[in-house]
A and B are shown apart, each in its own frame.
Chain A
Amino acid sequence: MMVIEKPAVSVTAAPPKIRIANLARRFGTLTAIENFSLDVESGSFVMIVGPSGCGKTTLLRILANLDSPTEGTVQVQRSDPSKPSNAMVFQGDSIFPWMTVWDNAAYGLKLRGEDKARIKDVVGFYLDRTGLTRFADRFPFQLSGGMRQRVSIARAFATDPEVLLMDEPFSALDEQHKTMLQQELLRIWDETRKTVLFITHSVDEAVALGDKILVMTAGPGRIKAIIDVPFPRPRNVIELRGQPEYGELVFRIWGYLREEVERAAAMEMK
């Protein structure tokens, strides 16, 4: 039974930015994701949490055109045909070791053959926003894990995609860097208001960043609950954690998630 704490249907008649209808993906006999339908409003920041192996990454890979669904459809509403429909910030190291910070951040724009002046402006802007301007000529091996992930974020934003996909981008970072990068991400997002689909296994991160949180069931992945996050923006992710409502919401989401995590663990044991 899917729980929707607040009606997900938007009041305006504007078409959703992302429409996922009856999506299923099977690998042989294994069903990663099933019966998955979701509309995402333009400009909303949607978090997806679920136990490991619930098909979160499969869902994102389908949206990123890196995998195709066995059943169902995924549509992204394009506002401008010259923009890419999506850009992904991958889990773990994904920036090219053979390119400088600058060339990595400019990757999507260069592939599209944007003119040099525009690339310079856009990449300069996002390197500045991610605090990487000084490191533009460095190679990834000279950077810390946090800085490498900043490059990945700059690279995704720089292509100005319709939808930004984030696959546990901060999971490899320590707590302090994670918090810093969450705040930086929100700051950039406040300026751009891109539609974001963000996968995480951290309930805490989901509440700190998202407008809506989607809890998924243990495999096969379906939507278990959709929860609205009421905190106003712009947010300060550290101060937010001091508010009683924050703790309550984290606790409530754990209520949905707990059963699924236990089920996932039980399936692993088998």
Chain B
Amino acid sequence: MAARFIDRDKLISILTPIILLGLWELGARAGLVDTRFFSSPALIARRFMVLSASGEIWLNIGVSLRRLGIGFLVGGVPAIVLGIAMGLSRSVRAAIDPLIAATYPLPKSAIFPLILLIFGLGESSKIVMVALGVFYPLIINTMAGVLQIDRIYLDVGKNFGATRGQMFYTVALPGALPSIFAGIKLGVGMGLVLIAISEMIGADSGLGYMIWNAWQTLSVETMYVGLVVIAIIGYVLSLFLDEVEKWLLPWMRER
């Protein structure tokens, strides 16, 4: 019974977007949808083929993913290390928490001019933007993850003579990992938003640049190709992270 419901749910979730795309295409052909603004699925697909054949789209995807990846590491690694330190030590928490609380609400896009000023127009300003986007959700989730570890596990570590380092690797890190993963997912989403924004200003490659350039040349189809590609990247990354999570956290109850 349950399996049949799951199959039915899957079918519905695949059918809905297909039907909507079909309606869009029909609407465009019937002249009900203004193709100057909304284009049509067929036109967008054709443009994708062209951009793919010229290699332009792949180049931009590669550039954006590279910035996203490097930014993720630059922001993520310190976020996890600091987050765990904040979770384990009251004084580290007291020192860093107010800084996080005060800077977190600043819209990252509003800091971009400052980042440009400091890091220039090159790669580093985009990487820093992604890093900032990843850093905040990840440090907050990591700290919360360590804080919610049941005290008894820390007692066990202490009773069995764990050193500081051993406490980190055997208790704090694995105990906080589910929460860290939730932070990574949020951070990747935020990173995608920020890479698109920062590539629109002061960049000559990347998906954000492609979309912005398409707007300036009124090439609506290219704009849509960029949006669709970003959506697909986001979706594939989240599927990928789900798989990594299952592999890294086999001890979590089935959800």
Contacts and interface: CB of A to CB of B under 8 A. Distances in A.
Given A64-B159, A98-B174, 16 more contacts: A64-B155, A90-B152, A93-B152, A94-B153, A94-B156, A96-B156, A97-B251, A98-B251, A99-B174, A107-B156, A111-B160, A111-B162, A111-B163, A112-B161, A139-B251, A159-B160
A65 interface: yes
B170 A111 contact: yes
Contact of B251 (A93, A111, A141): A141
Considering residues B159, B161, B249, B252, which has the most beta carbons from chain A within 10 angstroms of its beta carbon? B159
Contacts of B252: 141
A108 interface: yes
B253 A141 contact: yes
Contacts of B91: none
Interface of B: 152-153, 155-156, 158-163, 166, 170-171, 174-175, 177, 249-253
Given A96-B170, A140-B251, A65 B160 contact: no
A218 interface: no
Contacts of A107: 156, 160, 170
Main secondary structure of the interface of A (DSSP, over half): loop
Contacts of A111: 160-163, 166, 170
A20 to B, nearest CB: 18
B132 to A, nearest CB: 30
A102 to B, nearest CB: 13
Contacts of A66: 155, 158-159
Given A66-B155, A96-B153, A108 B161 contact: yes
A64 B154 CA distance: 13
Contacts of A86: 159
Interface string A116-153: 00000000000000000000000111000000000000
A96 B171 contact: yes
Nearest to B178: A98
Contacts of A159: 160
A112 B163 CA distance: 10
Interface string A167-198: 00000000000000000000000000000000
5 contacts: A64-B159, A86-B159, A98-B177, A111-B170, A159-B160
Contact of B156 (A90, A140, A141): A90
Contacts of B152: 90, 92-94
A92 B7 CA distance: 41
Contacts of A94: 152-153, 155-156
